[in-house]
Chains A and B, each alone.
Chain A
């Protein structure tokens, strides 16, 4: 039987707040939230040139970082 190579998992940071331990949102989830916010901005019909520039910059940044 072939053994699968171990999958490396980067653990999220943890913070303690009011006696409870909370995971910091992962970069993946942060990106997802940002994409949803950008979509909402674009669909609002009130997108300014500055909004578009910021959204385009984030998009290009993600493309550059993509494997």
Chain B
């Protein structure tokens, strides 16, 4: 693939008779690539805090744990822009993008009761999904040279983000006293929305292929902070053991995602949780914030009119 792109570029450079000396007033740009989020702010702290907690818990008497909280930095992102260039070296673009980011995690907690009681187990899993729709406004400063054009971007954007936090806890203890095969299954789904402004800047290179068509490669950095994550929590719970089964479900509106730290036996761990009110257990509890700070490298085509 990379070889193909290289050869195509080489051919264009070698044989192209088109240049950017003729300015086109409007252009449409469709591009896609990989965007990288450096640490996500509280997102990464949350994951690290959870992992640290379960690692610690696994060292306590009778406990053993497994946990996996990967933070995926890179995800694909697409972008569509309308570019207005009144001058050959200066223009503005309005863009609409989309990126979807998924972080999945899991952990298991075992507690050995000893003797005939065996052990009980909690299985936790979560799938957190982030869908972002950036609307950007960029100022473009271009330096054309024959069929090549170097672009500098700078601008701001407004980011609409929908977040889904889907979590599940399965508890099981086969030898629960008086309650054979005791199970407790709990799921929660929090659907939230957040939006906020950011700014970005970057560089790009365009290669004109034919008169109205060029190929672009861009790389830019952006700084976007999102917070005030509010939404509705829906939960379902099934409690079951021999001869008994009870299911409950409900929903709670105006839930906020909070971030803070709690202490256990002198150890401090960071965590995020949903609550309608500020969680009293947490030290320094505050609303959860995350960011999309990072880079976006993309390639695309530009149609000029």
Q: Do A and B truly interact?
A: no
